[in-house]
Structure 1
Amino acid sequence: MMWTRWLALALVAVAWVHAEEELRSKSKICANVFCGAGRECAVTEKGEPTCLCIEQCKPHKRPVCGSNGKTYLNHCELHRDACLTGSKIQVDYDGHCKEKKSVSPSASPVVCYQSNRDELRRRIIQWLEAEIIPDGWFSKGSNYSEILDKYFKNVDNGDSRLDSSELLKFVEQNETAINITTYADQENNKLLRGLCVDALIELSDENADWKLSFQEFLKCLNPTFNPPERKCALEDETYADGAETEVDCNRCVCACGNWVCTAMTCDGKNQKGAQAQTEEEMTRYVQELQKHQGPGQMSSSNPHHFQREQRRRICSKSTERRDLEGDV
């Protein structure tokens, strides 16, 4: 029994001596080796020095915030994590990381999709067709063109052209036609009606003056006219109506062939949500979106849209029309 105890003690002593020799050997071999932060020198089986990630840091508490937004117990833990993950992490500042307010994309802008535009157009045509009066034996009726002519003259201000406000006034004469309620917020629905009226103008505005002559008005509401589907172009690809993309903290939606974007000021430090942008800021924003556009895929932005949308104060609803037209 005594002999067994002495043998155990002898083995422990040998192991301790061996460990001491290994430590001295490691110290000697690694004496002139510099491994850098987060690494330590180790000896290979061949007795050669090599640098490995630190196995364990000393548990002293001196928290630091890394450039990756993560809090570490001390500098050693930060550099060890950088070594283990193979990433570049620097000390941003001493102490725990402060909670950063994430700049998330705002809600989708209020837009008139092709389905909204076509539904509004269908309701208007249905309303007008209901007013057709066939010719009688002793009386002249009213055909479709004559009914349109009557309404056209009723809302026209005398220049023989209907702008968006005049066309909206015409549509508002029929409660069923104008009752488009896609959104829960009634203000958004009101905005939607205006946008869909704009989409109707764009549909048949052949000279691009954002006003409809009577012939253009007649074409727009011709029951046999089948509105073409328009897509949006971006980075050599085409996107269907309703597609979404993000630029910085803003969300853009493809609607009736145009990219329509929210108008959030994204500076990270002082987030100014839902603010109206100046014309210069708006132009810069459009150019930023165009950076993502493949060459030859977009026509230039339409200044009439900018002016009209500023007048409509869509900015106040966190929405800007961005007419990056990409018809395909």
Structure 2
Amino acid sequence: AEQCKPHKRPVCGSNGKTYLNHCELHRDACLTGSKIQVDYDGHCKEKKSVSPSASPVVCYQSNRDELRRRIIQWLEAEIIPDGWFSKGSNYSEILDKYFKNFDNGDSRLDSSEFLKFVEQNETAINITTYPDQENNKLLRGLCVDALIELSDENADWKLSFQEFLKCLNPSFNPPEKKCALEDETYADGAETEVDCNRCVCACGNWVCTAMTCDGKNQKGAQTQTEEEMTRYVQELQKHQETAEKTKRVSTKEI
């Protein structure tokens, strides 16, 4: 096959490859003995894989417990024993001080207030599970939510001082929560796939990527509507709630 003239008019071949011009496409077809047609003019658009997408950003129990350990370590370092002529600060007094500093006046700490409290300590917030800083920032917020869920007894996503105290009590041992799906229970970190979505069990909840696939047209992954994703996650959570109710009933019977 002869060399093509170097004029630049890119085309996208039916094999998904970009060629400098029509001639280069036909030359490649000739050299490889394959049938390649011009799909359209211009560079080939990047095709996203239709395989299940990367895992969602989640806070695993190990992440949550590590953040909690660092916060407790930081707070314990601020304990000041009583002196001969001065009163020190015990653990609950230190927590009370921080609670009042970050509470907006409703005697409750919500997730944004709790996050501001955590961000007071560089070591505590420096969880770097992901190479991307944005994902690490998101991880911190998710782990704060996971900490709130630990002791949020009335499920209002806010902590009273007593709930805050329980959450960060050094002697409190957070329970290990599992995820349920179709009569099966899954340990923290377990993954399941549905079409182009990947769901991960994290702190007792299923967390899923929000993608949808069009296999026929090979369009790859596109953003799913919020309504579709909400319905999808709700289905998983129904399994979770059913399993937890069954577990509670079984425990009562015992």
Per the alignment, do residues 258 and 124 of structure 1 end up closer, same or farther by CA in structure 2, a change over 3 Å counting? Answer: same
Identity %: 94
Per the alignment, do residues 275 and 324 of structure 1 end up closer, same or farther by CA in structure 2, a change over 3 Å counting? Answer: farther
Higher mean C-alpha deviation, range 57-66 or range 197-206: 57-66
Query: Does structure 2 retain, via aligned residues, the 8 Å contact 1:113–1:241?
Result: yes
Equivalent position SS for 2:174? coil
Deviation at 1:271, TM superposition (A): 7.2
Deviation at 1:76, TM superposition (A): 35
Per the alignment, do residues 70 and 179 of structure 1 end up closer, same or farther by CA in structure 2, a change over 3 Å counting? Answer: closer
Query: Does structure 1 retain, via aligned residues, the 8 Å contact 2:206–2:237?
Result: no
1:257-285 C-alpha deviation (Å, 9 max, x unpaired)? 00111001223356787766544222332
Per the alignment, do residues 103 and 288 of structure 1 end up closer, same or farther by CA in structure 2, a change over 3 Å counting? Answer: farther
Per the alignment, do residues 156 and 246 of structure 1 end up closer, same or farther by CA in structure 2, a change over 3 Å counting? Answer: same
Deviation at 1:151, TM superposition (A): 0.3
Deviation at 1:128, TM superposition (A): 0.3
For residues 147 and 208 of structure 1, the distance between their equivalents in structure 2, rounded to whole angstroms, comes to: 25
Residue 162 of structure 2: aligned partner:
215
Per the alignment, do residues 145 and 83 of structure 1 end up closer, same or farther by CA in structure 2, a change over 3 Å counting? Answer: same
For residues 125 and 42 of structure 2, the distance between their equivalents in structure 1, rounded to whole angstroms, comes to: 59
Question: 5+ residue gaps in structure 1?
Answer: 1-54, 293-315
Query: Does structure 1 retain, via aligned residues, the 8 Å contact 2:195–2:212?
Result: no
Higher mean C-alpha deviation, range 238-247 or range 98-107: 98-107
Per the alignment, do residues 160 and 87 of structure 1 end up closer, same or farther by CA in structure 2, a change over 3 Å counting? Answer: farther
Per the alignment, do residues 146 and 108 of structure 1 end up closer, same or farther by CA in structure 2, a change over 3 Å counting? Answer: same
Query: Does structure 2 retain, via aligned residues, the 8 Å contact 1:61–1:74?
Result: yes
Residue 245 of structure 2: aligned partner:
318
Higher mean C-alpha deviation, range 81-90 or range 175-184: 81-90
Residue 252 of structure 1: aligned partner:
199
Aligned length: 250
The 5-angstrom pairing of residues 167-206 of structure 1 reads 167-206=114-153
Deviation at 1:286, TM superposition (A): 2.5
Query: Does structure 1 retain, via aligned residues, the 8 Å contact 2:99–2:161?
Result: yes
1:167-225 C-alpha deviation (Å, 9 max, x unpaired)? 00000000000100011111111111111000000010000000000000000000000
For residues 26 and 149 of structure 2, the distance between their equivalents in structure 1, rounded to whole angstroms, comes to: 59
Per the alignment, do residues 320 and 58 of structure 1 end up closer, same or farther by CA in structure 2, a change over 3 Å counting? Answer: farther
Query: Does structure 2 retain, via aligned residues, the 8 Å contact 1:64–1:97?
Result: yes
Please, what TM-score do these two structures have when normalized by structure 2?
0.72
Per the alignment, do residues 131 and 250 of structure 1 end up closer, same or farther by CA in structure 2, a change over 3 Å counting? Answer: same
For residues 11 and 237 of structure 2, the distance between their equivalents in structure 1, rounded to whole angstroms, comes to: 40
Structure with more contact order per residue of length (Cα contacts < 8 Å, sep ≥ 6): 2
Per the alignment, do residues 70 and 256 of structure 1 end up closer, same or farther by CA in structure 2, a change over 3 Å counting? Answer: same
For residues 319 and 106 of structure 1, the distance between their equivalents in structure 2, rounded to whole angstroms, comes to: 33
Please, what TM-score do these two structures have when normalized by structure 1?
0.56
Equivalent position SS for 2:134? helix
Whether 2:113 is the aligned partner of 1:162: answer: no
RMSD, aligned α-carbons = 9.8
Per the alignment, do residues 256 and 62 of structure 1 end up closer, same or farther by CA in structure 2, a change over 3 Å counting? Answer: closer
Query: Does structure 1 retain, via aligned residues, the 8 Å contact 2:110–2:158?
Result: yes
Q: Please point out which of 97, 104, 116 is paired with 2:44.
A: 97
Equivalent position SS for 2:223? coil
Deviation at 1:89, TM superposition (A): 25
